[in-house]
Structure 1
């Protein structure tokens, strides 16, 4: 009897490892961090293991990440106060600006990406300037650009606009170039869906909208052709890298963008995805380590070059074994 014996390459763990098609590396990992004024650490209830970090706590976190071989972080800030113009987003002594400088003092080799958005900095909790109940696009661009420039001045290595205002990549690129930051790349949240998976993040970032939702500027989860239009606009405006957010429910989008655009692609494994795995693992319903590694492998297999995940430290420890 003649038939294929596929199991020959599966019988031994060494052989399985030898022929594995998709491989993970700590170089792919980017850890989102939430930084706050004051002292100590505050737990985020909806995201077990995630904390709000003071600058001192952030320094210790960077030391731990360095030992794990993690080479990049993504910063989100919790401001002292919020106002209609999101002033602390671009203040010289804003929390993100302080955090960037602290990280660079601890380890200059850590690549610091900064989330550029206004939602955490204004009382309406929306990603642009609010007039009445309208999130206005063009007026928001100057503040987003100002925020990006302030991050670059503080020492950021990578600017990551997440607001989904039209034209924000062009505005940010122009602002950076005019301030002699031509070498700083932009990782655009190009394909950011209006997703139910963001719920726990809004607790972590103190950024829940005070009215309405974000469907007028974030993408409809039913659309994929729209993702191409968003990506093409951002690349034309000066983006160097693209992102799909969330990750797991949009693996088809990750794959489609990877096949179409020859630029680095990030997948953001978001708070809801993280929280669901944590909740199931705490109940003993899933093997957390196994499901996390399978998830990260699937994102890489789909085409993600960069994995933005709250499981970064866990994955790094596993890869060190």
Structure 2
């Protein structure tokens, strides 16, 4: 993505040195010249693109076992387009092994829950982002935003958002959005920009779009939004799912909704199966892989 068609001077071409991905894992076993990890690396480590390395690290200052539960947050606003008021109800970063449960955020300009890129192993469940107040424009109304890795959002609801279940730039994964809903949405669900990898969108229901595509010169040069993404048994007004040219694939299984080409034509089509067919089995990939059934 170093040849994004310029729209104006704000467009930034991708630089290879800015695309090193740092996966945090635990080595569970070493056998000969093989190592075994607690979670997969969700993209191929191709030598032609730099390969990979394993190293030990410490993260001084990261906190753990933080829980926020059973809270309703309301932001005081002056008008439907007011932007001088609360932006994030909850923002985690440099946090691990923590949770947000049964939190309702009303009238915030950006999010109910926003997980930064140094957050990991966070569960966000049974939360609501309702009736966001801001201009309807870029950088606003990301109801449940995730830039971290090994995080789970489940049983969440959003109204009047833009990018309701969304990842940002260079997100490592794996991450899951499971059994979530969005109503009266003003943009799309899915990876937003600059190569998020390894996200599962499972049983997402929206009256808007779900897209995994080359976003080209939107923003300051979004380019390919994501790779190794999976839409499983989701419902949307329509969806564009494309495969990147270089590496990785994107999958859409059992979508209820219209298929369309996406913003930029001529991109490779994603892997589609079972569009508009009923009774997909398993009904949830997340439940099948975890071996558990979760309440709706």
Q: Is the shorter-chain TM-score for this pair beyond 0.5, marking a shared fold?
A: no
Which has more strand, going by share of residues? 2
Which has more helix, going by share of residues? 1
Bigger relative contact order, structure 1 or 2 (CA pairs below 8 A, ≥6 apart): 1
